[in-house]
Every structure is written in C-alpha cells, then in structure tokens.
Amino acid sequence: MTSFADLGLPHEIVRVLNKQGIEEPFPIQEAAIPDALAGRDVLGRGPTGSGKTFTFGLPMLARLAGAPSKPGRPRGLVLAPTRELAAQIRERLEDPAAALGLRVLDVVGGVNINHHIRALAAPVDLLVATPGRAEDLISQGKLSLDDVRVTAIDEADQMADMGFLPQVRKLLDRTPPDGQRLLFSATLDGDVEKLIARYMHDPVTHSTAPVEAAVDTMEHYQLLVGDRDTRNEIVLQIGARNGKTIMFMRTKHGVDRQVKKLRRVGVNAMGLHGDKGQGARTRAIEGFSDGTTPVLVATDIAARGIDINDVSLVVHVDPPAEHKAYLHRAGRTARAGTSGTVVTLVMDEQRKEVDQLLKKAGVDAPTVRVTPMSEELVNITGARKPEGAPLPPPGQQPAKSSSARASGGQQPRSRRRRGGGGKQRH
C-alpha cells in the first residue's frame, strides 16, 4: 500500500494526516502529488470527490514551507468558483499548513471586505480566493500577486460555466509567468483548454475517471411521477426519509418555495442559492454537514463543489438543463468510497428531454413508475410519510435536537477514512 510519506510529502504533513485517520492516498493523489512536488505544471481531471483538494494543496504547502511571506503578498494562490468551496479548501489545508508554520486565508464575495483587508495586514502564505474578491482587493491596493510562486485553479470547468474565466485570466496575468500552475477540473475541454494553452508550461495530465458518471457505488433511477401534483407529494415523502438528501431545483425561487413546503410538513430543510446571505449559506452548510438539517435544497451553481460526507440521496426535482449539470449534481453522493443513489423525478411531458440528457451524460438509469408511498418509491429512496410538526422559517429554528427528530434526520456514521474522507475531506 502506498502511503503519503511514499509520495514525498514532508513528515509534518504526514503526521497530521495520520492523526486524522487519513493514511492511504486516492488514485489522483498518488499519481499527481509527486509531479506537483517536483515543480511540474499539473492538469488533473477527475470526478468530484476524487481527492483534488489534497492533490494540489499538500504539494503547494510543501513547496511554500521554509520561506517567509509578507502582508498582502501571498506566495501561493488557489482560485475557486464559490464561497463554500473556498471555505472548504481553507478548512482542509489549515491543519497541515499549521504543522509547517504556514498561514492559510480565504477571501470571498459576500463578506465585508474590511475583514479581508485586516486579515491581509498579517503575512499570508496561501490565499484561497474567489476571482471577484481577489480583484477587488487588488484594485484597493491591499493584495499583490507579484510573489505568487504556485497557483492552483480548482473546478476550472465551473469557472468557465459561471463566466469567471476573464477574471481568472486577469489574475493569472498578475502572477509571475514562470510560476507553477496546477489546474483541476472534471473536464478539460472548450474554454478550459484555452486557459491551459495560454498559462501552463509542458503540463503533465492525470485523469482518474472518464467524464461519464461511472461511479461503481452510485445507482441512478428515473422515477416516473406522472403529473406535477403527484411529483410534489412524492418530494415531501422523500424529504421525510432517514439520511442526508440533496434536492436540486433549477431556480432560486423554486428552492425557496420547496423549502417552505418541506418545513410545513415538519421536514427540516434549508435552501442554498446565490441570493442567500453568507450567514444563511454558512448555517445551511453547517447544519447539513453535521446532520441536524438532513435536507438541503439547492440550485446547480450554489451546490457545485460542495463536498459533504454521507449524502446518501440526490434528487433532481427539476431535471437539469444540460448533462454536465447532471454529473455535477450526481457527484454530491457516493463520495470517498461510500454508496449513494441519484433519482430524477420525471413528469410525463419531460420523458423525452430526460432520456436525451441521460444519454449525453453516459448514464444508465432504469425507469420506474412510482406513486406516493408506493413500494417502489420506498425501496429506492427510503420515502416515509411526513409526520413532524410544522417548522418555522430557517433562522427561527427550534433546538437542533428536536428539529432533527422531527425531520427523521440521523447523525452520520463514522468510518475509517481513505485519502481524506470524513470530517477532514480532501
């Protein structure tokens, strides 16, 4: 068995990983970390949950160790598309960074910029940033990228989908041209290819899986629900199941409306979309992570890149608009070697559209006709009849323990971790 020490990482980092129960690297970590440590530019293509954060983050820390940083002038830069992903990257790298005497800071939109200005007044070794906030800080003269020796771009395909690549290019132009670049993405095509051609030097590519959703421990189903009223009733029954569930809607309004419906029948659900304030987003993620809020209802953009353990069911209440979104939604389950189920609720008029979508995604999802509380629905999703008391709007919640009981939520099971699974995921 290959260990993290075998990959050439400093013993301080290996010691922190071992203390967290993380001993065996994932395939992409085993393949790419030695190249990154050697200073090579690295392209990593792998499905979400394959271990990308440790793959770029640990070598970055190792290469930054032993040299001082200045206030407002980080030597390492990670660009991430969303606030949540940036926070997760910072959280996962904090302990190994501290073991090397390094400081990690995240700067993201939706947070008072003065907090970031104060934080940058002290030396920062590794900065994790969303592109817009990094640009804001540079324009105010509080951040310089002149000292950046290694840059990582995470979820590059999502950056492209969200229209961030012009900002990413501006930021990369501000880093030294001879710096090391690490780029990680589920796909390496289209606009991402242009980014690679312009900024990377003789990159080595490591791919761990085809683009298709070919996770052995993930099951896909099309649940034929007939009309909208039947679908809406079924959604409430799925929401009352045991375990962590992510439901996807196409619009922010759809998310808010679905959360209200679920809470009305006693299901402790919270919403996640781009118009939510940072406090509400943080509460939703933390509650979902620790199991006290067992149902998260989200739009595509809000949930991409979120890595939360023990999500056993993903529900496409609204089928996604395109196949890449399906794959990213599905990737919220069956992470770190666990199993999971992905169901798409298909109304009669959507059958042709969903068939084409799944074919393009390379997904084999058998069709099953379901009705409220039918045996098929219960067997596939664990649906239950909602029996909890109505819950107040999010932010006015009762005590966590009672809300978790009302929703049928359960605490996540503990398990031995591999390559960074569990609380400190990679």
As a whole number, mean pLDDT of residues 162-167 equals: 89
Q: Backbone phi, then psi, for 222, in 5-degree steps?
A: -100, 120
For residue 326, give both structure tokens: 């399906």
Longest pairwise C-alpha distance within the chain: 63
Distances (CA, A) of 322 to 71, 301, 356: 43, 13, 10
123, 68 in Cβ contact below 8 A? yes
238, 345 in Cβ contact below 8 A? no
As a whole number, mean pLDDT of residues 117-132 equals: 97
Q: At what angle do helices 191-199 and 165-173 cross, to 10 degrees?
A: 0
Q: What is the pTM of this model?
A: 0.67
CA distance 269 to 404: 10
According to DSSP, the residues that pair with 44 across neighbouring strands are 184, 206
CA distance 343 to 417: 27
Q: For the segment 68-94, what is each residue's pLDDT rounded down to a tens digit?
A: 999 999 999 999 998 888 988 999 999
For residue 43, give both structure tokens: 């392209």
As a whole number, mean pLDDT of residues 171-176 equals: 97
- Beta-carbon neighbour count of residue 131 at 10 Å? 22
For residue 205, give both structure tokens: 């590519």
State how beta strands 244-248 and 311-316 pair.
parallel
Q: What letter does residue 348 receive in the DSSP assignment?
A: G
218-407 and 11-207 share a CATH fold? yes
In CATH terms, the superfamily for domain 218-407 is P-loop containing nucleotide triphosphate hydrolases (3.40.50.300)
Compute and round to an integer the Cα radius of gyration of the chain. 22
What pLDDT does 1 receive? 77
More confident residue, 178 or 402: 178
Question: Is 50 exceeded by the pLDDT of residue 406?
Answer: no
Distances (CA, A) of 103 to 59, 65, 130: 15, 10, 18
Classify 212 in phi/psi space as left (phi over 0), alpha (psi -120 to 50) or beta. Answer: beta
CA distance 292 to 408: 10
Return the ∠ at Cα 164 (arms to 163 and 170), rounded to 5°.
135
CA distance 372 to 255: 21
Q: What letter does residue 169 receive in the DSSP assignment?
A: H
Residue 216: band (very low, low, confident or very high) from pLDDT cuts 50, 70, 90: low
What pLDDT does 371 receive? 96
Question: Which sequence spans correspond to the domains of the chain?
Answer: 11-207, 218-407
Residue 421: band (very low, low, confident or very high) from pLDDT cuts 50, 70, 90: very low
Q: Backbone phi, then psi, for 124, in 5-degree steps?
A: -125, 125
Sheet with 269-272, side-by-side order of all strands: 269-272, 295-298, 244-248, 311-316, 340-347, 218-226, 367-369
CA distance 377 to 384: 9
Residues 187-211 as b or e (16 or more Cβ within 10 Å = b): ebeebbeebbeebbeebbebebeeb
Fold held by 11-207: Rossmann fold (3.40.50)
According to DSSP, the residues that pair with 45 across neighbouring strands are 185, 207
Residue 129: band (very low, low, confident or very high) from pLDDT cuts 50, 70, 90: very high
Q: For the segment 240-253, what is each residue's pLDDT rounded down to a tens digit?
A: 999 999 999 999 99
Q: How many residues does the chain have?
A: 426
CA distance 248 to 245: 10
Q: For the segment 1-40, what is each residue's pLDDT rounded down to a tens digit?
A: 789 999 999 999 999 999 988 888 988 899 999 999 999 9
Q: What letter does residue 357 receive in the DSSP assignment?
A: H
Question: Is 80 exceeded by the pLDDT of residue 415?
Answer: no
Q: For the segment 257-306, what is each residue's pLDDT rounded down to a tens digit?
A: 999 999 999 999 999 987 887 788 888 988 998 889 999 999 987 666 56
Q: Identify the helix (H) or strand (E) that includes residue 193.
A: helix 191-199
374, 238 in Cβ contact below 8 A? no
